Structure 1
């Protein structure tokens, strides 16, 4: 299943009435601590305490799972990894890490921006309580090469840590369901197991923190950034 196929549907998904992204209840939801079981900051864990095989992408450390497929989104100019697309069965999870304020949350600003952009694109957006606070569910109309209208369906998670934010975008079957069971279960566990290594460089909140390709994968990664199954 290619990246362009993720979450693309012929028929629109039913959406509830659009929720006001400025409602204080969403800020109250995001103010809770959702990271007891991950994702973790590097200072919160001891990676040498177990013999688990992990992939170290510099700013993000991943725990691979059986039959995991991985595709890297690489900036051609800098050759830095901007995001990773993790695929399992008919679902996918795109992960990226960003700089964030040390003492406040970016969630409200992100919600408002995503709702505004989605509505400008003629899409539908719904907010709901997810496993990491407010979950953003979107259905965005697209046109294929034949001019037919298709729909990109996704669910977005945000996990806030010390001066960092990890974004996860569920697509495919996992993006069209609710909760963390079923098609989303494996990708949810993968997201929970992420470990962030935030560097000391000053960053504007919202700036991408690039990843680096692990040495053991450099020789395996073709020009399109797709890494063999783990």
Structure 2
């Protein structure tokens, strides 16, 4: 299992949530690979080698498209999870029954460095505490749709610049002079994706701790002390 699966209380939801986590991981990875392609294009453009930077831009467009497609998979799987949660025979472990104060648990996770100290972290915790798993997965879907909108905008702008790319280093000059809002488009997509990732990770940690306690397994804090940084060895002079 990956590090951000929502630990379920039956195999039906386990099958779905593992794929949900994978789809989000793929969406994030494709977005970052797109950024790597953009960085390669910027490195190549000042050398004015025809076609080199354009090929990188084309690759970036492909990665941004794949990121958006993976988000569509993520959204579809979130909806499938919602349908499982709505079934009469589904009885998830309730966080309040095993963790107690969910907000305190999340605060302790933040203090331990296991979750980032952000508004998205606390919003996910509040949503799960007040409205349950169903509302949390609805929130994931809403946030993913927002990310998808930004990704489509980023993809469209990158493709437009790629289509006009030539000897002049159009993309490099456009980005450096801010004549085209490419960096803003990327930052909107990246920031929204970060919020989604943080919210999903928060829900996953709460769900995992609930599942561990519900099955009698050690909680996430029980063996945290085993993760020790290796001692720094000073090089001999």
Q: TM > 0.5 between the two?
A: no
In terms of fraction of residues, the more strand-rich structure is 1
In terms of fraction of residues, the more helix-rich structure is 2
* Larger Rg belongs to: 2
**TM-score, normalised via structure 1 length:** 0.27
**TM-score, normalised via structure 2 length:** 0.26
